[in-house]
Amino acid sequence: MVTTSTQSLYRDIIKTRVQSAIEMARVVKTMPHRGTLGEIRELLVRELFRPFLPSDIGLGTGQVIDHTGKVSSQTDIILFDRSLAPPIMLNESLGLFPIESCLYVIEIKWLY
Give the pLDDT confidence of 53-74 residue by residue, as tens digits: 898 899 999 999 999 999 999 9
Domain count, the chain: 1
Q: How many CB atoms lie within 10 A of CB 98?
A: 16
Q: What is the domain extent for residue 55?
A: 4-106
Residue 68 inside a domain? The answer is yes
88/100 Cα distance (integer angstroms): 13
- Give, in degrees to the nearest 5, the angle at Cα 37 between 36 and 43: 90
Residue 111 lies in a domain: no
Asked whether the beta carbons of 84 and 100 are under 8 A apart, the reply is yes
Asked, for residue 59, whether it belongs to a domain, the answer is: yes
Query: Binning pLDDT at 50, 70 and 90, where does residue 45 land?
Result: confident
* 66 assigned to some structural domain: yes
37 occurs within a structural domain = yes
Closest CA to 74 of 60, 57, 88, 84: 60
Query: With 80 as the cut, is the pLDDT of residue 102 above it?
Result: yes
Q: What is the pTM of this model?
A: 0.73
Q: Tell me: pLDDT of 108 over 90.
A: no
